[in-house]
């Protein structure tokens, strides 16, 4: 091997020794921030479950389940949805299940084709209406 090639390989090993601890630190910081605790009265949406996604019939009602985490049991007033940017379409939320796997369910009408479905909720915090974070999922409706 030539001296230039050996120097180049040596630099690569040095860079790896520096980059690995930096990347590990970033990974640890990301893990810690994703487990951040909720502020007093805060509500955070986590995921959307759409049974039969891909087999939904266009213009036929289906149920969407929204999972969330909250400090306490905040009153969720409305859930608002956007279909690929079209909306919001807001619905009153009535039956909320609180606990370690808190969720609520709402019926929606499927649309033809793949769409991005986004959701946020409006809830009461310190006597004021607050808006949660938004979550999204792809929904595929097919012809009947």
Please check the confidence at residue 135 and state whether its pLDDT lies above 80. Answer: yes
Two tokens, residue 93: 């939320």
Percent residues over pLDDT 70 in the chain: 75
Separation between Cα atoms, residue 21 and residue 42, nearest integer Å: 34
* Ramachandran angles phi, psi of 12, nearest 5°: -60, -45
Tokens describing residue 69: 């985490």
**Residue range 65-87, pLDDT digits in tens:** 999 999 999 999 999 999 998 99
pLDDT digits (tens, 9 = 90+) for 110-123: 998 889 999 999 99
Hey, CA dihedral for 133, 109, 78, 53, is it positive or negative? negative
Higher per-residue confidence, 37 vs 92: 92
Global confidence as pTM = 0.72
- Please state the separation of Cα 1 from the chain's center in Å: 52
Cα 88 to Cα 108: distance, rounded to the nearest angstrom: 13
Q: How far apart are the first and last CA of the chain?
A: 68
DSSP assignments along 6-64, one per residue: HHHHHHHHHHHHHHHHHHHHHHHHHHHHHTPPPPTT-EEEEEEE-TTTTSEETTSEEEE
Q: Quick one: which H or E segment has residue 123?
A: strand 113-125
Q: How does the average pLDDT of the chain come out, rounded?
A: 84
């Amino acid at each position: 091997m030539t001296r230039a090639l050996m120097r180049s390989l040596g630099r690569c090993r040095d860079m790896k020794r520096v980059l690995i601890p930096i990347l590990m630190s970033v990974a640890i910081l990301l893990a810690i921030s994703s487990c951040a605790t909720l502020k007093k009265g805060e509500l955070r949406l986590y995921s959307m479950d759409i049974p039969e996604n891909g087999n939904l019939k266009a213009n036929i009602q289906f149920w969407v389940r929204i999972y969330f985490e909250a400090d306490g049991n905040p009153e969720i007033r409305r859930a608002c949805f956007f279909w690929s940017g079209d909306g919001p379409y807001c619905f009153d939320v009535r039956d909320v299940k609180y606990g370690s796997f808190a969720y609520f369910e709402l019926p929606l009408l499927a649309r033809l084709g793949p769409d991005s479905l986004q959701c946020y909720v409006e809830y009461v915090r310190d006597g004021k209406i607050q808006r949660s974070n938004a979550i999204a999922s792809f929904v595929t409706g097919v012809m009947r």
